[in-house]
Structure 1
Amino acid sequence: MRNTRAVIMLLLALVLAGAAVLAAAVWMGGQNTQSSQKVVVALVEISVGSKVTPAMLRTLDWPTGALPPGAFGETKLIEGRITRANISMGEPVLESKLAPVGATGGLSSIVADGKRAMTVRVNDVVGVAGFALPGNFVDILVNTQDDRAKLTGGGELAISKIVLERILVLAVAQESSRDDNKPKVVNAVTLELTPDQVEKLDLARSVGTLSLVLRNQIDPSPVNTEGATKESLLGLKPLNPVAPPRTAAPAAPRAVARPAPPPPPTDSVKVIKGMDTSVQQF
């Protein structure tokens, strides 16, 4: 009798334990389904300006709470798109790193909305010895003549001034790849600018010589300098402006004397007395 009750209790315990394990498995499966979502990630390194193919992508389970904005859940939604930034292996493919739908590639596909691409001539010195690479930020310096000195009677004043800050380098020569970190000495650099900056840069290269100044990638702080002149460079005191020579005031024209008007006519009578004649006026 006791053995039968023990066996029944053992069987009941086994049934309850199996049910608990089954319920826990079902619950955990439901939790996993609700807390993760499929996200498309890069299977290989994808460089800027590349056309995305299915061989470059795969899907992974990604925690729903940490899902990055702009992520995709299916590879077919990305197939054929052009990248506007480098995508590392295992990194989620985001909408912000892709060119608009319909873009066919090339440099125009990686120019940000509202921006323009403009190319300037450089050399090994102006181009920071080739260290200004795609993806870097540069400041633009112009060396020109300050014509305002002429207004005070002086000559032209040389000045060097930073006119544009934190400008993105899109390409050097004909290359826009950002994978290679080796310096490249080239004769042209393509920059990404706003329309206002394009106008300033076009004027700057026509009135003086340009130089690129490489800056820290994560330094967004703007600067506002007054520009460097020979006086500030050498620590000289500014000269007093030379006053323009005064010109003599023109002499006032002399008044021309006008002849006196003739007297008004009066009544007269001519009187003849023998050989003498006279005029009598009234």
Structure 2
Amino acid sequence: MTRSSLIQISLALILALVAGVLVFRMMRTPARQVQVQEVPKVTLAVAAADIAKGTKLREEHLKIAEFLQQSAPKGAFASTEEVIGRVVATAVSAGEPLTPARLVNDTTQYGGVSTMVMPGKRAVAVKGNKVLGIAGFIRPGNHVDVLVTIDDNRRKDDTAVTKTVLENIRVLATGTELQQEGDDSTTSPVDIYTLEMTPDEVEILSLASARGQIHFSLRNPADKDSILTKGIDIPRTLTLLSPKPKPKARGAASPSTAVEVISGTERSTLRFKQ
């Protein structure tokens, strides 16, 4: 074995020994533990399911959920006991925290339709039937026009008149149903309809329902246009879809009867129209 070969083998052994020592030390050195800073969290009272406006909160409406402290809404309640018995001022979605802004003043312990009425308006109930309610397709949240068939005492004959007197009126409730259950294909025939109106509109509806017969016409939610009508009476109704009278032909001679008169030696012809 030559001298150069011995030198190369010696260097390889030394390098292997150094590498082994380094690996051994690395294995003996404890791994650095990554310290994760714990983010503070809070528990808040949230809606267990969708809650409609005007609902008086009960235990089954609520649950507790965990939130990051930095993302918790200001004023949110930490326990369900703080909000049980309060009334929801606006609709709350499932999982949404309850805050004072979502609730009616804490001195108010009532709920139902009264909290759903917009300021400046009133809720008025009208007795209905399947015809008035369009076979039950009128649901809470819909908008309707109100028509009345009433006698117009200013007329001598044919006093009955039908006229649209109110339009785009919001339906607050149908019977005891304050929010629509199911989809639009389901029906809910009831006997009472609660409408939201201004005080002036309440007076119009009260008179119309007391002195005449009212009907609802259901509006498309996107239809906001105001439609002014003249109303309809019996004579105008009876002339609808009637054929137009045939015009007389120009130059056509009217049928007549000719009479010849003889007086002495004179003769004349007289014609008489039939």
State the TM-score bracket (shorter-chain normalisation). Answer: 0.5 to 0.7
Q: Which residue of 1 aligns with 2:120?
A: 114
- Matched residue SS, 2:227: coil
Letter in 2 for 1:14: A
- Superposition RMSD in Å: 4.2
Compared CA separation, residues 215 and 84, structure 1 to 2 (3 A):
farther
Q: CA deviation at 1:96?
A: 6.8
**2:184 pairs with 1:167:** no
**Cα distance in 2 for residues equivalent to 1:221 and 1:68:** 36
Q: CA deviation at 1:37?
A: 6.6
Compared CA separation, residues 85 and 209, structure 1 to 2 (3 A):
farther
Match of 2:64 among 59, 62, 68: 59
Q: Is the 8 A contact 1:124 1:185 kept in 2?
A: yes
Q: Is the 8 A contact 1:166 1:220 kept in 2?
A: no
Gaps of 5+ in 1: 237-282
- TM normalised by structure 1 equals 0.57
Q: Is the 8 A contact 1:143 1:159 kept in 2?
A: yes
Q: Which residue of 2 aligns with 1:137?
A: 143
Q: CA deviation at 1:177?
A: 4.4
Larger deviation: 69-78 or 101-110? 69-78
- Matched residue SS, 2:56: coil
Letter in 2 for 1:234: L
**2:132 pairs with 1:126:** yes
State percent identity of aligned pairs: 28
**Cα distance in 2 for residues equivalent to 1:98 and 1:156:** 51
Q: Which residue of 1 aligns with 2:83?
A: 78
- Matched residue SS, 1:200: helix
Q: CA deviation at 1:79?
A: 1.4
**2:212 pairs with 1:211:** no
How do residues 129-278 of structure 1 correspond to structure 2 at under 5 angstroms?
A: 129-144=135-150, 158-172=161-175, 175-178=176-179, 180-181=181-182, 182-216=186-220, 218-219=221-222, 221-229=224-232, 231=236, 234=240
**2:24 pairs with 1:14:** no
**Cα distance in 2 for residues equivalent to 1:229 and 1:66:** 61
Q: CA deviation at 1:40?
A: 3.0
Q: CA deviation at 1:202?
A: 2.2
Q: Which residue of 2 aligns with 1:277?
A: none
Q: Is the 8 A contact 2:57 2:87 kept in 1?
A: yes
- Matched residue SS, 1:164: strand
Compared CA separation, residues 41 and 121, structure 1 to 2 (3 A):
same
**Cα distance in 1 for residues equivalent to 2:83 and 2:119:** 20
Query: How many residues were matched structurally?
Result: 218
- TM normalised by structure 2 equals 0.58
Q: Which residue of 1 aligns with 2:47?
A: 42
Compared CA separation, residues 105 and 132, structure 1 to 2 (3 A):
same
Q: Is the 8 A contact 2:116 2:172 kept in 1?
A: no
Q: Which residue of 2 aligns with 1:244?
A: none
Gaps of 5+ in 2: 1-16, 243-274
- Matched residue SS, 1:119: strand
**Cα distance in 2 for residues equivalent to 1:70 and 1:193:** 34
Compared CA separation, residues 70 and 9, structure 1 to 2 (3 A):
closer
**Cα distance in 2 for residues equivalent to 1:224 and 1:68:** 45
- Matched residue SS, 1:103: coil
1:20-62, Cα deviation, whole Å (9 max, x unpaired): x32xx32xx43xx4xx875532225656765323343113345
Q: Is the 8 A contact 1:54 1:75 kept in 2?
A: yes
Q: Is the 8 A contact 2:86 2:103 kept in 1?
A: yes
Compared CA separation, residues 56 and 205, structure 1 to 2 (3 A):
closer
**Cα distance in 1 for residues equivalent to 2:208 and 2:73:** 41
Q: Is the 8 A contact 1:159 1:227 kept in 2?
A: no
